[in-house]
């Protein structure tokens, strides 16, 4: 809603009629036309006075619930504007500015204030729903109101609220739990409800030995064994998983270098990455999320339910774009001599020579998974022969099925 001509269609007609009346009154000498012209001008002037002197629009407060929303989900927008008028407000037209990344009906009419008492503050509540369709950090606003005088002649546009930030993060897709053996996990596996973090203490009972503190006596075990037992702490190791996201620009459409949400393949890879990271974390893994050049993309997620860490990861991913260098060919050399648990590599364009370069890396992980958004069929076949569990993850792929195939039943090809 732009600021423009201050008169409505009715007001414009009244102004034209007033001008014509003045002209004809002078040409024809009809004094009544002069009275009509003066009356119309007086009505227009009264409308301006009512809108600019007798009516006040205060500041608006806009809230978003939530203000961090996954792509494909909606946020509820609510704005409250305080208004005061000494005359009936009539119909108020409102409009809120939405970026192209959000879809919603952000305009409407509000006429409920017309019958309220004049001269007192009256709240105007505006509410609508907006759906995120593109990842990124965006702004909603400004909020504009257009009020009309009681005669319907003059209108005025107000901007009581500026911009409010909203963050559209990659969509997280629930993935099924898959049973991974202790060997594939790279260490002991424990239920996530029992995980207290890296190096959690597991209490067991052992027979009392001279020198043990009496405060360590395990009374329940003592009664059960009929001999003095004490508590002994045993260290548990938290299984670790690594998720690598290839941000090299040669792997993606050029639009992924500058614009968030512009490349569907890149967006599918980001959604796949965060979904797998959350699945590992919920299964009790400590998860490292890295670029293929070794740069951490977020803080490691502990193998426990940590909503704050998850939110920080999603906020980091909201503004991710591809980078200039291509570091995928040298990835195997950077991991030479290292042994890891589950290793998930997510990339875009994958060619035969890339699969050959990645072949040695499969032997450094107990569970190597290679997911590509735009692979060639021969590249996936070559990677499978090298020991990778492979799949394509285009925008139309069914990610839960893909995950079950590669993590549970071994190598399988799923093309989008």
Report the pLDDT value the prediction gives residue 74, as an integer from 0 to 100: 97
Inter-residue contact 343 to 368 (CB < 8 Å): yes
Rounded to whole angstroms, the Cα distance separating 119 from 71 reads 44
Task: Give the list of residues 6+ apart from residue 145 with CB closer than 8 angstroms, or none.
Answer: 57, 81, 92, 93, 94, 124, 157, 158, 159, 160
Q: State the Cα–Cα distance between residues 325 and 321, nearest whole angstrom.
A: 12
Q: pLDDT value at position 198?
A: 41
Pull the structure tokens for residue 25: 């009154």
Task: Return phi, psi of residue 331, to 5°.
Answer: -65, -40
pLDDT for residue 194: 36
DSSP run (H or E) holding 265:
helix 264-282
3-state secondary structure 343-383: EEEEEEEECHHHHHHHHHHHHHEEEEEEEEEEECHHHHHHH
What is the model's pLDDT at position 278? 95
Which residue from 170, 180, 202 is spatially nearest to 71, judged by alpha carbons?
Answer: 170
Task: Quote the pLDDT of residue 86.
Answer: 67
Spatial CB neighbours of 138, under 8 Å, sequence gap ≥ 6: 99, 101, 102, 165, 166, 167, 168
Q: What is the pLDDT of residue 307?
A: 85
The answer to whether the CB of 92 falls within 8 A of the CB of 124 is yes
pTM exceeds 0.85 for this model? no
What is the CATH architecture assignment of 240-408?
Answer: 3-Layer(aba) Sandwich (3.40)
Low-confidence ranges of the chain (pLDDT < 70): 1-3, 54, 85-90, 111-120, 179-204, 210-215, 232-237, 304-305, 337-339, 409-416
May I ask the CATH class of domain 56-169?
mainly beta
pLDDT of 88: 63
As given in the structure block, the two tokens for residue 385 are 């022969």
CB 164 within 8 A of CB 79: no
């Amino acid at each position: 809603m732009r600021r423009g001509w201050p008169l409505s269609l009715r007001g414009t007609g009244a102004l034209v009629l007033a001008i014509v009346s003045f002209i004809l009154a002078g040409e024809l000498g009809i004094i009544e036309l002069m009275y009509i012209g003066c009356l119309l001008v007086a009505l227009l002037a009264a409308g301006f006075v009512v809108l600019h002197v007798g009516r006040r629009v205060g500041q608006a407060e806009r809230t978003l619930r939530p203000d961090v929303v996954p792509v494909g989900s909606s946020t509820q927008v609510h704005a409250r504007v305080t208004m005061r008028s000494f005359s009936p407000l009539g119909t108020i037209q409102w409009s809120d500015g939405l970026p192209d990344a959000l879809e919603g009906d952000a305009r409407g009419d509000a006429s409920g204030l017309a019958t309220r008492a004049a001269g007192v503050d009256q709240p105007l509540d505006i509410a609508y729903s907006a759906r995120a369709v593109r990842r990124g950090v965006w702004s909603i606003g400004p909020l504009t109101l257009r009020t009309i005088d009681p005669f319907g002649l003059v209108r005025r546009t107000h901007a009581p609220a500026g911009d409010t930030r909203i963050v559209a993060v990659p969509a997280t897709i629930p993935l099924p739990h898959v049973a991974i053996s202790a060997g594939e996990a790279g260490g002991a596996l424990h239920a996530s409800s029992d995980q207290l973090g890296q190096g959690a203490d597991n209490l067991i009972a052992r027979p009392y030995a001279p020198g043990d503190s009496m405060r360590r006596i395990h009374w329940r075990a003592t009664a059960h064994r009929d001999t003095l037992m004490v508590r002994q702490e045993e260290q548990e190791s938290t299984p670790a998983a690594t998720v690598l996201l290839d941000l090299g620009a040669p792997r993606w459409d050029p639009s992924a270098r500058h614009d968030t949400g512009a490349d569907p393949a890149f967006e599918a890879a980001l959604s796949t990455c965060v979904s797998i990271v959350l699945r590992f974390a919920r299964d009790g893994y400590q998860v490292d999320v890295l670029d293929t050049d070794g740069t951490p993309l977020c803080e490691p997620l502990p193998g426990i339910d940590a909503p704050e860490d998850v939110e920080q990861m999603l906020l980091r991913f909201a503004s991710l774009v591809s980078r200039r260098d291509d570091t995928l060919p040298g990835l195997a050399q950077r991991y030479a001599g290292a042994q890891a648990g589950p290793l998930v590599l997510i990339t875009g364009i994958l060619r035969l020579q890339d699969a050959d370069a990645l072949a040695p890396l499969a032997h450094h992980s107990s569970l190597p998974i290679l997911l590509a958004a735009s692979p060639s069929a021969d590249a996936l076949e070559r990677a499978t022969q090298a020991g990778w569990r492979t799949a394509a993850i285009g925008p139309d792929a069914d990610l839960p099925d893909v995950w079950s195939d590669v993590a549970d039943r071994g190598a399988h090809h799923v093309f989008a």
